[in-house]
Structure 1
Amino acid sequence: MSLQVSIGQYSSAGCKTLNQDWFGACLPTEPQLSNKGIVLAVADGISTSTVSQIASETAVKSFLSDYYCTSDAWSVPHAALQVLKASHNWLYAQNRNGPFAADPDKGYVCTFSALILKQRHAHLLHVGDSRIYLWRNRQLEQLTRDHRVWRGSSSFLSQALGAGAVLEPDYHSLPLLAGDVFLLATDGLFEVLPQPQLMALLGPEQADLSTLAQQLADAALAAGSKDNITLQLVRINALPADSSLPACIDQQLPLPPLLQQGDTLDGLQIIRPLQQSSRSHVYLVQDSETAKLLVLKAPSIDLAEQPDYLERLLREEWIAKRVNSAYVLRPASINRPRTALYTLFEYIDGQTLRQWQLDHPKATLEQIRTLTEQIGKGLQALHRSEILHQDLRPENIMVTPQGSVKIIDFGAARLAGLQPDDEVAGDIPGTALYCAPEYFLGAPGSERSDLYSLAVLTYQLLSGRFPYGPEVARRRSLKAQKKLQYQSVLSADSELPAWLDRTLEKALQPDPSLRYQALSEFLYDLRHPNAKFQAPQSLIELHPLWFWQSCCLLQCLIILWLLAN
Structure 2
Amino acid sequence: MHSDPGPNEQNDDCLGVRVPEGVELGTKGVAAVIADGVSAAEYGKQAAEICVQGFLSDYYDAPEAWTVATCGSKVLQSLNRWLYGLGQSNSLDGRGYVTTMTSLVFKGQSAHLFHVGDTRIYRIRGTDFEQLTRDHSFSFGKGGSGLARAMGMDTGLDIETASFPLELGDRYLLTTDGIHGFITDSVLKEVVLAAREGDFDQACRLLCQKAIEAGGNDNCSAILIEVQGVGTASKREHQRNFQRLPFPPDLAPGMKIDGYEIEKELQATSRSQTYLAREIETGQLVVLKTPSVNFEDDAGYIERFVMEGWIGKKLKNEHLAGAYVPPRGQYFLYTVLEYIEGPSLEEWMKANPKPDVRQVTSIARQILHGLRAMHRLEMLHQDLKPSNVIIHPTRGAVIIDYGSTRVAGLQEIDAPFAGQHHALGTLGYSAPEYFLEKLPNRKSDLFSLGVIIYEMLTGKLPYGEKYERCHSVRDFSVLEYHPATKFNSHVPVWLDGALRKAVAISPQRRYESYSEFEYDLEHPNPKFLPENAGPFIERNPVLFWKLVAGALLLAEAATLVWFLW
Alpha-carbon contact 2:255-2:262 (below 8 Å) kept: yes
Report deviation, 1:90.
4.7
In structure 2, relative to structure 1, the CA distance for the partners of 1:259 and 1:476 (3 Å cut) is closer
Which residue in 2 is equivalent to 1:377? Answer: 369
1:362 equivalenced with 2:354 (yes/no): yes
Report deviation, 1:332.
2.4
Alpha-carbon contact 2:457-2:488 (below 8 Å) kept: no
Whole-angstrom distance in 2 between the partners of 1:427 and 1:98 = 33
Which residue in 1 is equivalent to 2:185? Answer: 195
1:412 equivalenced with 2:393 (yes/no): no
Paired residue for 2:494, among 495, 499, 503? 499
Which residue in 2 is equivalent to 1:448? Answer: 443
Q: Identify the structure with the greater helix proportion.
A: 2
Whole-angstrom distance in 2 between the partners of 1:481 and 1:20 = 53
Which residue in 2 is equivalent to 1:279? Answer: 271
1:63 equivalenced with 2:28 (yes/no): no
Paired residue for 2:215, among 218, 224, 241? 224
Report deviation, 1:485.
3.8
Task: State the one-letter code of the partner of 2:492.
Answer: P
Report deviation, 1:432.
2.6
Paired residue for 2:422, among 423, 427, 431? 427
Residues 121-200 of structure 1 correspond to what in structure 2 (within 5 A)? 121-137=110-126, 139-147=128-136, 159-161=149-151, 162=153, 165=156, 167-175=158-166, 177=168, 180-200=170-190
RMSD, matched Cα: 3.7
Paired residue for 1:117, among 94, 102, 106? 106
Whole-angstrom distance in 2 between the partners of 1:493 and 1:224 = 78
Whole-angstrom distance in 2 between the partners of 1:411 and 1:151 = 48
| Secondary structure, counterpart of 1:351 in structure 2 | coil
Which residue in 2 is equivalent to 1:254? Answer: 246
Alpha-carbon contact 1:23-1:42 (below 8 Å) kept: yes
1:79 equivalenced with 2:74 (yes/no): no
Q: Matched residues, percent identical?
A: 36
In structure 2, relative to structure 1, the CA distance for the partners of 1:51 and 1:492 (3 Å cut) is closer
**Deviations 1:292-316, CA, capped at 9 Å, x for gaps:** 2222122233433322221111111
| Secondary structure, counterpart of 1:134 in structure 2 | strand
The count of corresponding residues between Structure 1 and Structure 2 is 524
**Deviations 1:443-482, CA, capped at 9 Å, x for gaps:** 3333232222111100011011222235556666778756
**Deviations 1:109-160, CA, capped at 9 Å, x for gaps:** 5432101234665332223432112345465443334446789998876654
| Secondary structure, counterpart of 2:225 in structure 1 | strand
**Deviations 1:57-115, CA, capped at 9 Å, x for gaps:** 443343233223312332322211111122334556778999999xx9x7765432101
Whole-angstrom distance in 2 between the partners of 1:461 and 1:55 = 43
More deviation, 257-266/30-39: 30-39
Paired residue for 2:34, among 38, 42, 60? 42
Report deviation, 1:396.
1.1
Which residue in 2 is equivalent to 1:329? Answer: 321
Alpha-carbon contact 1:109-1:163 (below 8 Å) kept: no
Which protein, 1 or 2, shows the higher relative CO under an 8 Å CA cutoff with sep ≥ 6? 1
Which residue in 1 is equivalent to 2:2? Answer: 9
Task: State the one-letter code of the partner of 2:100.
Answer: T
Alpha-carbon contact 1:123-1:174 (below 8 Å) kept: no
| Secondary structure, counterpart of 1:129 in structure 2 | coil
Alpha-carbon contact 1:114-1:126 (below 8 Å) kept: yes
Which residue in 2 is equivalent to 1:524? Answer: 519
More deviation, 437-446/462-471: 437-446
Alpha-carbon contact 1:24-1:60 (below 8 Å) kept: yes
| Secondary structure, counterpart of 1:417 in structure 2 | helix
Whole-angstrom distance in 2 between the partners of 1:78 and 1:100 = 34
| Secondary structure, counterpart of 2:410 in structure 1 | coil
Report deviation, 1:351.
2.9
Which residue in 2 is equivalent to 1:464? Answer: 459
TM-score using structure 1 length: 0.80
Whole-angstrom distance in 2 between the partners of 1:533 and 1:62 = 44
In structure 2, relative to structure 1, the CA distance for the partners of 1:503 and 1:21 (3 Å cut) is same
Report deviation, 1:367.
3.0
Report deviation, 1:265.
1.7
Whole-angstrom distance in 2 between the partners of 1:359 and 1:413 = 29
Whole-angstrom distance in 1 between the partners of 2:89 and 2:468 = 30
Task: State the one-letter code of the partner of 1:411.
Answer: G
Whole-angstrom distance in 2 between the partners of 1:424 and 1:300 = 24
Alpha-carbon contact 1:113-1:127 (below 8 Å) kept: yes
Report deviation, 1:393.
0.6
Alpha-carbon contact 2:14-2:48 (below 8 Å) kept: yes
Which residue in 2 is equivalent to 1:314? Answer: 306
Paired residue for 1:234, among 203, 220, 225? 225
Alpha-carbon contact 2:318-2:395 (below 8 Å) kept: no
TM-score using structure 2 length: 0.80
In structure 2, relative to structure 1, the CA distance for the partners of 1:109 and 1:479 (3 Å cut) is farther
1:386 equivalenced with 2:378 (yes/no): yes
In structure 2, relative to structure 1, the CA distance for the partners of 1:241 and 1:167 (3 Å cut) is closer
Alpha-carbon contact 2:114-2:159 (below 8 Å) kept: no
Segments of 5+ residues of structure 1 without an aligned counterpart are 1-7, 538-565
Alpha-carbon contact 2:73-2:159 (below 8 Å) kept: no
In structure 2, relative to structure 1, the CA distance for the partners of 1:288 and 1:245 (3 Å cut) is farther
